Amino acid sequence: MSNPSKVLIIYTGGTIGMVEDPETGSLHPFDFDHLLNEIPELNKFDIELEAISLENPMDSSNMGPEGWVELIGIIEENYNDFHGFVILHGSDTMAYTASALSFLLENVNKPIVFTGSQLPIGKIRTDGKENIITAIEIAADYENGRPIVPEVAIYFEYALYRANRTTKVSAENFEAFQSPNYPLLAEAGVHIKYNRFAIRKAEDKPLLARKDIVEDVASIRLFPGLQHKVFKAICDVPDLKGLLLETYGSGNSPTHTWLAEEIIKLNEKGVIVVNVTQCITGKVMQGKYETGVHLERAGVLSGQDMTYEAAMTKLMYLLSCKELSVEQQKQFMQTNLRGEMS
């Protein structure tokens, strides 16, 4: 490839790809063969665009590991033919899918930009057009033959976020996402201002796409009054391999004897238990209070400042790395692999 001008758009489903039927008022996916008719502004780009869709586009609430594998396959198959990729995805689980791909696609050295919208592309006030236009521009943006953003990212409402640092915070506002513990990769105004210090360096290794994803994981969100029998029921799930504990504040939990005992049993069975905070900002510091120290003594790993989405998908990814022992998986769970933790 000579010029940075070829971008593949991948449609997975979701609000952004919907148009309104003028007769019935119902929403249905628009035909991507007519993408330029829907967004004529794209004709002004000196970028070669191609579009492909998942075999069965879906609402993002139905997106999961099977859909991730299909996406990974499309990217792997087309990786050498395009300068960048734009993935149109429903916003509800976008942070999960984008985080998952940031781990499952190893050695990424091209932009893979997720975007979506809060209003369908066919609505007059849609936020989808600007999101698609700028996402494409970022995916095609190279400098001296190298991509400016060689990583998996999310673009939404004038902001570019690292994928595995992003969480959805609003069901109604156009500014639907935040990156609580990491700066923006870029801000789009009159110009796109890249925060180059925050962007990962390109990997000079061949892309490695992992498609075996372990789904034997669970999570428990602590709350005052959580009963032993409820906690135990989740711990006793057959073939459980990983568990996220959503704790209070800086990683604290009640000091019930039964809680530590159940966690110790999990560790003895080789189940990886990770502590993530329920707070939007800040990080887990298990050694700060006794209510966190007792979790550390029981063998719980600190999720530090990872988002819930990043911690869950990273856990699923590491459990799929069969070449690693459980102890190595635990070590990597606490290691910054893709910029997901500080």
Q: Which residues have a catalytic role annotated?
A: 15
**Which of 201, 210, 179 shows the shortest CA–CA distance to 76?**
210
In the chain, the amino acid numbered 169 is V
Separation of CA 236 from chain center? 28
**Which of 154, 162, 167 shows the shortest CA–CA distance to 278?**
167
β partners of residue 87: 10, 114
**Which of 167, 203, 198, 192 shows the shortest CA–CA distance to 276?**
167
